[in-house]
Structure formats: structure tokens, C-alpha cells
Amino acid sequence: MSLEREERLASEIKDLLGSRAVEIKIQRIRSIFVTVKKEDYKESIRKVVDRFAITHLSTITGADSGQTIDVMPHFSYAGTKITFKSSVPKTAAEIDTLTDIIPGAVMYEREIHDLLGVGFKGHPTPERFILPDDWPSDVYPLRKEYKVVRPEPIPKT
Amino acid sequence: MPEFTVIVGPQHPALKEPESFTFWVDGEDVVRTQVRIGYAHKGVEKAAESRTYIQNIPFIERICGICNVAHTICYTQNVEYLYGRQIPRRAEFIRTIIEELNRIHSHLLWIGIAGHEIGFDTLLMYVWRDREVVMDLIEAMTGNRVSTALMTIGGVTRDVTPELATKIRKGLDILEERTKYYEKIVASESTMLARTRGVGVLTREEAIKHCAVGPTLRASGIKFDVRAEDPYAAHDEVPFEVITADTCDLFGRVVVRVYETIESIRQVRYCLDHLSSGPIRIRLPNTPPRGESVSRVEAPRGEDIHYVRSDGTDRPSRYKVRAPTLGNLAALVEMLTSKGDYNVHVADIPIVLAGIDPCMCCMDRTARFIEPSKDREWVWTWNQLKKYAKEK
């Protein structure tokens, strides 16, 4: 499998973002990971989206990496998955919203807010989405410190 | 005129899909829509972290009954990407065969449901009778009608014998003939045309804006199909046409699904004709190397994307699933909002909801009554509402 196309795309992204791109990794054919700092997250995405006229955001993944939470929007550009990756500290879990660049991000950001407790600055409807209404507000089930407690087995009579 | 709030949900007996919608209605027109999900949140992503990669295969398969093949292909190929290994070509072809059979079954199921929602139950009866043909083929191939359990990390678990191939070919002939008949029906039957044309409009711009996926997106005239854009399994070789419609309404969504069924039949035929010989799986170690990977497939409902992160143990450190319906939810809210000349009627709600292919319709409804002049709000049960109607 030739990765020529991916390499060309990666170098174009590198030229565009300059020092903002901390790391650009070609994971496999048609899949690129771009790591950016939290402060540069929105601006870098805006630049790439405008430059390549990207319209489709597949989803946003949130993942617990110990002290930080990775926020990873997956964009689709001519068949290639471009994944941005930005870490936010758990103590101040907040990042800029993408909803004004790609309105399709609304549901995905609400999902991450519910399950991992990352706030999205400027989100139009930051309401509860997946968890029940009576769920405690500071418990985030997809964080590693949340342990699933099995209910006590019913004793046999 | 004061607006009414109609709450639809969370119970939807039609396809057992709990979602709650709040509709603000002005007379017969839906002015605004709000959606609330999570009633069936199973915690799959969290639970996947505590199971091994092998244990996760049947688990991921149970995310969705109808598109179980799409989810398992997406999962197994994602883990294979972590290993950086290519599976045997024969296994890729078998994956494509079962995937397309699954798509035929899902699309036929949907066409039946659409018929039911618009009050055309004869279509439901006919389509579901013919759908049994493809269910029998799936059963002959995997031993089960719905859950296929065919995927494994590194390939597939069952082979396609020449006898089975002959049987599938015979079944496909019947399916093709019947689907071509439905193609004629949906394009000419007056009930179908009256209830689907100009209903559930999603313009090209809105579809792009809300990142819609699958037949919903293609019915708005956008040529986006993961099988063509980001080919996986044997899709890099199997020829097929990406079906689109430019009507941007429900009629387009019906037409796209009917033609896609025919395309799928052709793809299965091609796979059977070009099935290469060789092994059907490779053995891989239990623990994949550290790393992360993203994989996409085109499920019957649209783009399905999975993300996996491995920390070098036998269990994934993070597993993320985005099923196509979530991608279409924002677009659905747009379809259910009247604007300008386009009015959404209350009676069209069920078919518009069903149009993106999760089907949830007429069920447990409560109406919230608001009397703005007296600043009063109350809720009536169905029986109270009936009683009120009789007394008046």
C-alpha cells in the first residue's frame, strides 16, 4: 500500500499549521492524526477546514488518558479520516466549541460533556443529552476513576 | 395563536426504540422540535473496556440487531488495523457478501415499515414476505437469521461452500425480480407519492451543514458513501454505483433505498463469481500492540465510525462507537421544523421520523396544555383527554 497521498496531505497540513501542529502521524492508509495544543485547537481546525473545504465531521471521540482527556474530532476529507487530537487537563476540562465551524458537532459535544465532563465554550445548547436527569452533576461515567459497581446479588431463600 | 407542546415518547412500540421528542405545534404545523435520547443507553463503551478483544466481538455485535454485521466488521477491522495485518482476500469477500445481504434485509425491512407508516399496509405484507428470502439466505450462511456471529479478528468463522453459493444465487434472482417490482410501485403508486413527495424536506445545504449520513444524505443529492470513499473489505474491487436522489424529501429516501437494494444484489453476485480460494482467517496474538485506530463502514443507515485505543493489554483502553442514527439526529430536527413555505404536519411526524430509519412513531403520547392568558400548564393522560372530548 502506497502512502504517497497521505504523505502529501500531511505535509500540506504541516505547512498550513506550522508550529501549531505538535505531531502529525499517518496511522495507515486514509487515516491521519494531527496533535495540536488545546489553545490552538479551534484555530487549527478552522484553518484546515477552510483550506480543504471539509464539510463532514464524522464524530468527536473523548478519551481518558490519566491526568488529561483527549478530545478527538474525526473529519472526512475525500475518503481520508483526519483526526485532530487535543488534551485538556481533568482539573480544568474545557475547550472551545466547534459548532460555529461545523454545526453538526452539536450532538457529539453534548455527548462528551455528559460522559467525560469536558465543557465546550460557546456551545449553543449545553444541556444533558444521554444521562438521566437525576444523574449527579460531577460524576462522569467514561472517566477511568468511575468504577462500575455491580449490584448485590439477591440472596437465595 | 398559542402554541401547543406535544411530547412524543419515550416509548415507541413500532420498532422498540425509546427516544423522546417535544414538538411545539401551531395548529397542524410543527414549529419547533427538541430531541432527548439516552433511554436505551447501555454503557457499551465503558463495558467494552473491561472485556478482552475477543470477548468484545459478540458484545459489539449486540449494539444493533439489524446492522450487527456493520458493527462487527467495523470492530474487527479496527483491531486488525492495530495489528497492521491484512486479512485473507477470501475473508474480505465473505465479509462483503454478508454485509450486502444484511443491507438487503435492512432496506427491505425499512420499505415495509415506510409502507406501514403511510397507511399502505399491503406494501408491508408483500415486502416482508419477500424479505424472508434474504433471511433464509443469511440463516443458511451463518446458522442464524439476524445475529450472524460470522466475524472474528483476522477473518471470518465460516466459509461459503459451492452449494451455498448456488443457493444464494437462486435467492438473489427472486429478490431482484421482486425489488424491481417495488421499484415500479414506489415510483407510480398514488398513496406513496401523495404521502412522501415534499415531506420531510432536507435541503442539500442543510444536509451538509448537519453532517447527515447514509441514505438520508444521498437522498439530498450528495454522493457520499464510505464504500466508495474509504473502501474496506472487498469494496475496493466490487463495482457498484452510489445511488443519489435530488428530490431532498422522503420520496428520495425511499427511491435511494430501493435502488441500493438492487445494487447490493449485484454486489453479492459479483463476490460469488470472483470468490478467490485460500484461507478464511489468520491467527493473531491475543494482545495487539499499543496504538490507536479509526475505522469506518457504511452501515445500512449510513456511516458507522469506531475508534479504538490499545495500551498494550488484552483489553481496549477506550472504545468509541458512533452509530449512524446519532449522525442523522441533527438533520432530523431540521426536517421536523416548519420554515417559509415548508410546513411539517403533525400527521407526517411518524413517517418523517421513520425516514432516517430508526422507526419510532405513534405511541404513548401526553399532551401538555398551555393557557398563556392564565399562565397555566397541565398534562392530561390519554383517557382524560378522551373523557374531555366526550364531555364537550
- Read off the pLDDT of residues A100-136 as tens digits, 9 standing for 90 and up: 999 889 889 998 998 999 999 999 988 888 888 888 8
Radius of gyration of chain B (CA): 22
Q: Say if the ipTM goes beyond 0.90.
A: yes
Place of cell 410546513: B343
DSSP B325-363: HHHHHHHHHHHTS-BTTB--BGGGHHHHHHHTS----S-
Do residues A88 and A95 make contact, with C-beta atoms less than 8 angstroms apart? Answer: yes
Phi-psi region of B375 (alpha: psi -120 to 50; beta: other; left: phi over 0): left
- Nearest-CB residue to B330 (from A28, A106, A130): A106
Distances (CA, A) of B376 to B19, B372, B373: 27, 7, 8
- The total number of residues written for chain B in this structure: 392
Q: In the prediction, which pLDDT does B382 show?
A: 53
Interface contacts (A, B; CB < 8 Å): 94
- Which domains are present in chain A? 4-89 (3.30.460.80)
Residues of A in contact with B322 (CB under 8 A): 58-59, 108
DSSP code of residue A143: S
Q: What is the mean pLDDT of residues A35-52?
A: 94
The angle, 0 to 180 degrees and rounded to 10, between the axes of the packed helices B89-117 and B162-188 is 30
- Which domains are present in chain B? 4-39+329-391 (no CATH), 44-322 (1.10.645.10)
Q: What is the mean pLDDT of residues B94-108?
A: 95
Residues of A in contact with B326 (CB under 8 A): 59, 107-108, 111
Cα–Cα distance measured from residue A74 to residue A79, given in angstroms and rounded to the nearest whole number: 12
Q: Provide the chain B residues 299-318 that lie in CB contact (below 8 A) with chain A.
A: 303, 305, 307, 309, 317-318
| SS3 label, residue B1 | coil
- Nearest-CB residue to A55 (from B208, B229, B291): B208
- Higher pLDDT: B130 or B351? It is B130
Q: How far is A96 from chain B (nearest CA, A)?
A: 19
Residues B259, B265, B267, B273, Cα dihedral to 10°: -150
Q: In the prediction, which pLDDT does B43 show?
A: 83
Burial annotation B97-127 (CB, 10 A radius, 16+ → b, else e): bbbbbbbbbbbbbbbbbbbbbbebeebbebb
10 Å Cβ neighbour count for B389? 8
| B200: pLDDT strictly greater than 70 | yes
Cα–Cα distance measured from residue A13 to residue B126, given in angstroms and rounded to the nearest whole number: 53
Q: What is the mean pLDDT of residues B348-374?
A: 52
- Nearest-CB residue to B303 (from A30, A58, A106): A58
Residues of B in contact with A76 (CB under 8 A): 229-230, 303
Q: In the prediction, which pLDDT does B385 show?
A: 56
Q: Is B80 on the interface with A (CB under 8 A)?
A: no
Chain B interface mutation, best of A25, A29, A76, highest count of B Cβ atoms under 10 Å: A76
pTM (2 decimals)? Answer: 0.89
Cα–Cα distance measured from residue A63 to residue A86, given in angstroms and rounded to the nearest whole number: 10
Q: In the prediction, which pLDDT does B331 show?
A: 87
Q: In the prediction, which pLDDT does B392 show?
A: 55
Radius of gyration of chain A (CA): 18
| Cβ within 8 Å, pair A28-B81 | yes
Nearest residue of chain A to residue B45 (CA atoms): A142
10 Å Cβ neighbour count for A5? 14
